[in-house]
Structure 1
Amino acid sequence: MLAANRLLRLAESRNSRSLQLHFISNNTRKAVNQVKPSKVKYEYVDPDEVERLDYYVPGGYHPVQIGDEFHVGRYVIVHKLGFGRSATTWLAEDKQNNRLVALKISKAESAERTIHESQVLTRLGQAKSQLSGKAIVQTLLDSFSFLGPNGSHQCLVLDAARINIDEAKEAAYHRLLHLLPSRAIASQLILGVQFVHSQGIVHGGMS
């Protein structure tokens, strides 16, 4: 009789554990079924459209994040605009003048070259000229240097430009610009080059 009671209690205990496991399993299954798909969308990024991470080394790019502040908090980074061989460019809010500007932050190894660029832009900005192309040339608003983990960097503060020609072509049908915008772009380029040449300066780049 005693053995029978023990067997009965053992069976009841096993049934109880089985019911508990079944309950847990069902609840877990319901929880899994209730998980909603993420609303975050990821897009493929062409490697040619971003700078190489291994350039963030001593002598290279300065690491920048959205919300970073520069020049004693005057400029606050709000968006990334692009990059080049010698610098990265960021959209920033100028807290002092309540406007958007572009910050071109040089590689540490390119700081001297960027100083020369700032001298050229300063010279063009101060030029006394009646040529209409002067208004087309980018304006240097401010410049400063700072020390980062990869060295000393030079920063140029410029007017925030609009869409570039390559992006305009991408947005156009079959990558072809309409005749009137094409003529306007060509005429502005000619006027800008005329003004730059009038000051004894020649642009040596490809764009």
Structure 2
Amino acid sequence: MSQPHRTPDGLDSAGTGVAVGEDGLARTPWALGSAMLREYYDHEWGMPVRDERGLFERLSLEGFQSGLSWATILAKRENFRLAFAGFDPDTVAAFDEADVERLLADAGIIRHRGKITATIGNARATAALRDHGGLAELIWSHQPATTPRPRVVEEIPTRSPESEALAKRLRAAGFRFVGPTTMFALMEAVGIVDTHLMGSHRRGASGVWPG
């Protein structure tokens, strides 16, 4: 999932480095926005995801986040999983107009027709990619040679040449809601880049990059 909002709502972190929680551990400031965000930051965000289903779920949720806070999506994640059959690409690819109407009536998710139909279309595109190496190979082929080493929040990028290239490749393959900023957030979430602030106790935790 996402590089959540850079900071939790109401926290002015311009120019700030790591924030130390009550447990004495240093984190990127957005992780202290709530217990939910802290748990996500400490155990999931930035850890490698290399399987098709896991990447399809995260790509889908990144698309639903567009224009919203990550906390909103994270709070609804289990509802999304129920509504979209655990994000099994083959099952979602078979969704029809009746499923679209069902999802539009589901108050547990984001009821946005464009995002719902994009997710179904992206499932079909995911299945089609299997004849060309697959979704995981396509996404991870855009891992850069180096990763950012931000000391303060202002130094965390929101896009990169690699995320721009990934967005272009996915769009060419029929995916939607996969812009460069959204794809950079995906790359952060699944360990392709590491944007934990220097000094965070999670820096380097993925094993993909040194601390």
TM-score under structure 2 length normalisation: 0.28
Structure number with larger C-alpha Rg: 1
TM-score under structure 1 length normalisation: 0.29
More strand, by proportion: 1
Higher relative contact order (CA 8 A, sep 6+): 2
